[in-house]
Structure 1
Amino acid sequence: MKTKSLLLGGALLAVAVGHGQSGYTPRDTSYSIHSTYLKVKKDHPAVRPVYARSYEGVREDTNLVYASVEARRDLHLDVWYPKVRAGLRPGILMIHGGGWTTGSKENLHPMAQRLAAEGYVTVTPEYRLSAEAPYPAGVRDLKRAVRWMRAHAEEYGIDTSRIAAYGASAGAHLASLLGTTNELSRYDTPGTSNAYSDDVQAVLNIDGIVSFVHPDAEPEWSGKSANAWLGDYVLNYPRWREASPLEYVDEATPPFLFVNSSYPRFHAGREELIKKLNQYNTFSKVYTLENSPHGFWLLQPWFEPTVDHAVNFLREVFGPL
């Protein structure tokens, strides 16, 4: 895919061109592994960024079209999978963060590759951000990505009964929303066929909120990112509540893993969600990486502990490979 760069409002935008699209589709990619590294190293000078690399035994298929939306806009994803097929394996949809306004699927390539090296089939999708289409467009896109995984399960050796949603920051909120809206049609894309389920059987929440209306989420109420995605908090309060995963927890909600920094802002609603899970005897685990910044999953020394917590949780929930 070709790209053009535009300087808009002080932010560098990577603009996708082609793939059957009409005109330009701006995407703010200013939030990246490198930008996170530059920000964090001011207070943690020993940190190291983790970039994409090749792993022996892992194959990749990149920039596959998984859906088309308005104005012939194609949505793309990348797949990482073991070269040697040994039965069906769990699939993991990996959702990048960026405050619903910025970021790219490439930010989670290092983690997707690492988990694929552990034997999982990992998928990193793009989804529409707020500048292109506000809530609920991105949620609908990600639901379609789960359906794509089931539609291509035979090709990649995915066990359709073991699909997890992994998300970081805003992506963690979105992964949580996928998991708590299993069996609901609210985020179905109008006019599309739903031959495959969009349910997920586990959620890995890496430092993301699960309620926009919880008191700990107050920084979001006046923040530019959430307001760009959901609209003004006061005028659109019902939408903010509707977009909160905590509102949907029931007996159909799958197990949850939380891997968190020490910043309460990014835990909004977590304890209440766990209490609800406990009412249904649904498994959950929480790990806090002490003194870690938001964005820790992109950097060493926190990248490997995040991998370990994810793999251990997946083994507990899905069993051994």
Structure 2
Amino acid sequence: MTNSIAFSVVLLACLVLVGCARHLNDPGRDISLPQKGHVVLADQRFSPPDWPQALYADVYIPDGNSPDGNPAAWPAVLVVHGGGWERRSRDDMTRISRQLADRGFVAVNIDYRFAPEYRFPAQLHDVQIAHRWMRDEASRLRIDADRIAGLGFSSGAHLVALAGLVAGTDSSLNAEYGPEDEGFFAVVVGGIPSDFGLFSGGKLLRQLMGARQEEAPEAYRAASPITHVHDDAPPFFLFHGTLDQTVPYEHARVLYEALLEHGVHAELYRMRLRGHITSFLIRGGAMRSAIAFLHDMAGRPADEE
């Protein structure tokens, strides 16, 4: 083992042991939630027959009846992977989806179309039709259609945040496929690109948007979640690495502050000494807190689950 590899292993072990994270708005929850077990419905097509690309989801359903005795009343979470809007797959979110299902949520882990073949807002539309599909298939998937949340990391965080913020508004981003009501009951986002104006440029954004920022400033602004923050937005739980160089920590901070300014319940879990990838791979405390947050926001105390 070379010295550089040995150093990396030691550093990674230290990060795991010390848990370098800080929850800036910790309400003191008990995050020790019991595990339930789950079943999986793999490769469920959620896109309509005439959609430009066939899209699929893996659905993770908790075992047994929900706490209120109704087998179709589990709260649910729409799960969206990262990858710069143009790569990776829902496989990245398998462990998170299993964790959600084991703690009392139906997790629907989805595909979406990739840039540059498909430009924004195609990816947002995919998330919106997945949300619609979850409601349409609620009985079969054992989902409480009135309690669906969104969870994503990186570009997936961007998409679920946008879907949650524009839902029920007159935004053009909600007009075609978004719900008329408020949509998600809560949103969990990690490593979120919240304000495209904070980036100096880059290939990924150019391929997503089909233009450079200086060529289409209004389009970049409209595609930024922070632009759509409003007083009736759903509650947010954000986690972000303070050493993130891909999506700087400022993205989480400014979105968190904007939500608070509008009177929206928001929590920020700051992960010190972690970058973009490590905040995803070493996310234990953040994800446990996020799941407890989802239980709270679903209106069901964790100890009843």
Alignment of 1:88-237 (within 5 A): 88-184=73-169, 186-188=172-174, 199-213=183-197, 217-218=198-199, 221-230=200-209, 231-237=211-217
Contact persistence 1:66–1:148 (CA under 8 A): yes
**1:253 match:** 233
* Partner-residue secondary structure (3-state), 2:204: helix
Cα offset for 1:211? 0.9
Which of the pair is proportionally richer in strand? 1
Contact persistence 1:91–1:122 (CA under 8 A): yes
Which of the pair is proportionally richer in helix? 2
**2:260 match:** 278
Cα offset for 1:151? 0.9
Structure 1 counterpart of 2:235, one-letter code: P
Cα offset for 1:272? 3.5
Contact persistence 1:211–1:268 (CA under 8 A): no
**1:287 match:** 269
Distance 1:266 1:166, change over 3 A: farther
Tell which has more relative contact order, 1 or 2 (C-alpha 8 A, sep 6+). Answer: 2
Identity %: 25
Contact persistence 1:82–1:116 (CA under 8 A): yes
Paired with 2:168 and 2:220, the residues of 1 have a C-alpha distance of 21
Contact persistence 2:243–2:273 (CA under 8 A): no
* Partner-residue secondary structure (3-state), 2:55: strand
Structure 2 counterpart of 1:228, one-letter code: Q
Q: What are the Cα deviations for residues 81-109 of structure 1, in whole angstroms up to 9, with x where unaligned? A: 11212231211011100111111111101
Cα offset for 1:119? 1.2
Cα offset for 1:188? 5.0
The gaps in structure 2 that reach 5 residues or longer are 17-34
Relative to the length of structure 2, the TM-score reads 0.79
The gaps in structure 1 that reach 5 residues or longer are 1-37, 49-54
Contact persistence 1:209–1:268 (CA under 8 A): no
Q: What are the Cα deviations for residues 106-128 of structure 1, in whole angstroms up to 9, with x where unaligned? A: 11011101111111110111000
Cα offset for 1:243? 0.2
Distance 1:41 1:101, change over 3 A: farther
Paired with 1:244 and 1:73, the residues of 2 have a C-alpha distance of 25
Distance 1:313 1:171, change over 3 A: same
Paired with 1:188 and 1:70, the residues of 2 have a C-alpha distance of 20
Contact persistence 1:210–1:270 (CA under 8 A): yes
Relative to the length of structure 1, the TM-score reads 0.75
Structure 1 counterpart of 2:164, one-letter code: G
* Partner-residue secondary structure (3-state), 2:47: strand
Distance 1:57 1:228, change over 3 A: same
Contact persistence 1:150–1:197 (CA under 8 A): no
**1:59 match:** 39
Paired with 1:64 and 1:232, the residues of 2 have a C-alpha distance of 36
